[in-house]
Amino acid sequence: MLGVGAIVKRPIVITENGDEFIGIRSMASLPLTYDRRFISRPDADLFMADIKHRLEQAAFEADLGL
């Protein structure tokens, strides 16, 4: 079961072109609950890494026509 926490603005370190600075980004936690008898931790880790990648690469504004 994948949960979605509240979206909140948080300060994070952003690296662009070798430069680091602090920026504000909207973030949410995505807790995953699973039964270890059926799903191994490495599989759960791969699933969460895939979800993270898809969310970071998504073009939500373009997909919604905004």
Any idea which residue has 């602090």 for tokens? Answer: 22
pLDDT tens, 21-58? 999 999 999 999 999 999 999 999 999 999 999 988 88
Position 64 pLDDT exceeds 90: no
